[in-house]
Amino acid sequence: MATVKYKPFKQDKRTVYFLKDGLPSLNVLSAAFDKDGKAWIGTDNGVAVFENGAFRKVDGFEGKVQVLFTDAEGRLWVGCGNTVSTSDGENKQELDSDIVAISQDHSGNLRLITHDCLYRYDGEFINWHSNEGAVPYDMAAVADGEVYAAVGDCLKTAFGKRLRWFPINSETSDMPDTQVQAVAGDKFGILWVGTKDGVFVYDSRNHWVSKKQVNALCSYNVKKILFGKTGKRYVGTDIGIMIYDGAKRHFYGKGYWLPSGEVTAIAESADGNTVWVGTNCGAVCIETLTMTLEEKAKHYSDMTEKYNVRDIGFVTNRDLDDLYDFSSGGVEISDNDGLWTGSYLIGQAYRYAVTGEQEALDISRRSMKALLLLMKITGIPGFTARAIRRPGEKGYGNGNPEWHAAKDDVSELEWKGETSSDEMVGHFAAAATYFDFCADETEKKEICEAICAIVDHILSHGYRLCDVDGLPTTWANWNPDDLNRNDRWYWEHGVNAFEMLAFLKVAHHMSGDEKYNAEYLRLVAKEHYAINSMYRKVDDAHTCHIDDNLCFLVSIPLLRYEKDPDILNCYLIGMREHWEYERDEHNPFWNILYGAFTDECSELDVGVNSLREMPLDLMEMKLINSVRNDLEWDYSPEKFGEAPQLKVSLPYDEKPLANYDCNQFLADRLSERKILLDASLFLMPYWFGRYYGLIEE
């Protein structure tokens, strides 16, 4: 079996700062680190230094602080309007016009440019040469004495014994015909030139390189460029920041990473592990941490335990009132509390199977009790509730006909009916996992009775769940006539057949009762349910992922328990077909499941890399990627009445984050709803992979 061995890796963590954190203004114009490693942020209302987790405004710098620059001697220069001084208020000078940029070449020569003139430093800033009418956007002093200015229509360079400006443009060189807005260079004189059409690399003589030659170069509207001290390249655009770190490339845009796509300032720490990004809506600190996947799993588990647990142990999303305050809002009462609680339980139970940690067992046990409450609270043998809510919780007593009054050991409550196949999959997959790895003999008996009651209910009601009103629920249908001989259930013929086989197999595994095995074999032999599972995934242009998630979840117990090679072969053929269809999603859970049960190459490295990419805060929030021009679009969803989506799913730290039942090929998330997801997104694939030896650290 293939194994992915992972050493500690780099994990980016972002923190956003606003007025409440001490910023003088949300409109950030500049940023720099001083010699002590403290971050300074310049705004249109003064400058502040970051100390002890908050900003402190620095007196003496009023109004617009558009330039901050730390030179090789450790002096932090502050450009405020047309006045330049060091951060201690010394070396103060008034210049001819507003300061645009300060830079230092690799021989230590300090240069400053204003709207009107270029200055050199010799104990003070001395007017060196007029800009000759062109107002610059940016300036870079590079190599040994070379100066370049971005002046819109061209890139200008100052050189010669008697200094003169030379314009570099499409008429005098191979430079593209575009507006130049930013420039940075290294000790070799190699420049990155930022334009409204992207980044171009120039050797400072006659050679230009663009995205045409190097696909990694972005083609967005570039406003800022910073060369980091450890080789990183930071490119600030009007839709986010591109970070080039060797072979790795990150795009961090508006949404999770930045409060605005408009990047106005960039500063990097001496060790390259912290970068501050200024926007016109606040400042962002991005720290690069060194973590193991197990440490990341611990982080997520702690986050979920703190923010995503409700009532006696239900684990679901948390709706936030404030995007940056995880204690705001409350844990959702969802239509599928059992599915999401069960998914979280699976991750924790596999964690217990790998580590034997008491905390993992306690969490699993708590969530199993919550699932058992849903299984029994309806008073209808074998009929499971979707969710419960108690007095004082959102919606309680509002008269919704799907909610019904009941009572448990804690209080009066309401339970929700209209239970779906989603709920059943979550219950069976979680109960089987807990039964095998965590349950004592008393618990095994209780779980077995509850699971068998559900299967008995389904069988006695024509392979349906029947609600308190005696009517079948909308989606919980495993009836052979419908799945095999009713076009209305075309989409579910394979997945629901697969689910029913799993339910029967779990009941037989727990109870040993041959009636469940006999019915299982009848469905295989007489109703071709195993054959159905061979083509369980119907081409839907990747628009619906609910059944995808259910299929892979319910695979866990069915593939663990089935030993007959003839039946198992059908399931594995179907699993391969399904995974091949979904492989462009780069789903860590599905990749790892497929690898564990097939011993085939399942792009484990891609799946585990997705785990690495997940941001430390699992946020589902408004996010717009469609403004990017580097995406490949798939228009096939239009035949199902859906909008175009991406051909290949974006990395997890760039895409709209969501649970595995959501469409991962979407570029945007338009909803204003702010959600903190629970950790099952990470914990299920990670601990499953650890248990089966696919992930080693």
Q: In whole angstroms, give the CA distance from residue 686 to residue 684.
A: 6
Give, in degrees to the nearest 5, the angle at Cα 66 between 101 and 120: 25
Q: In this prediction, what percent of the chain has a pLDDT beyond 90?
A: 93
Taking residues 162-166, what's their average pLDDT? 89
Q: Whose CA is closest to 240, among 682, 654, 560, 518?
A: 654
Q: In whole angstroms, give the CA distance from residue 646 to residue 65.
A: 41
Please give the structure tokens belonging to residue 564.
């007959």
Q: Are 205 and 220 in contact (CB under 8 A)?
A: no
Q: What is the DSSP letter of 670?
A: -
**Band of the pLDDT at 4, cuts 50, 70, 90?**
confident
Each residue of 281-340: pLDDT tens digit? 999 999 999 999 999 999 999 999 999 999 999 999 999 999 999 999 999 999 999 999
Q: In whole angstroms, give the CA distance from residue 184 to residue 155.
A: 12
Q: What is the pLDDT of residue 200?
A: 96
**Cβ contacts of 448 within 8 Å, gap of 6 or more:** 435, 510, 511
How far is the CA of 621 from the CAs of 40, 227, 656, 657, 674, in angstroms? 29, 31, 7, 8, 5
Q: Element (H or E) spanning 365, and its range? A: helix 358-376
Taking residues 689-695, what's their average pLDDT? 96
**Band of the pLDDT at 546, cuts 50, 70, 90?**
very high
Residue ranges of domains in the chain: 294-308+422-696
Each residue of 475-500: pLDDT tens digit? 999 999 999 999 999 999 999 999 99
CA atoms within 13 A on the CB side of 614: 32
Q: In whole angstroms, give the CA distance from residue 631 to residue 621.
A: 20
**Cβ contacts of 254 within 8 Å, gap of 6 or more:** 239, 240, 260, 261, 623, 624
The answer, yes or no, to whether residue 1 has pLDDT greater than 70, is no
Q: Rounded to 5 degrees, what are φ and ψ at 599? A: 60, 25
Residue-averaged pLDDT of the chain: 96
Q: Spell out the alpha helix ranges (H) of 215-336.
A: 293-307
The answer, yes or no, to whether residue 365 has pLDDT greater than 80, is yes
Q: In whole angstroms, give the CA distance from residue 186 to residue 174.
A: 21
Each residue of 64-116: pLDDT tens digit? 999 999 999 999 999 999 999 999 988 999 999 999 999 999 999 999 999 99
Taking residues 644-665, what's their average pLDDT? 95
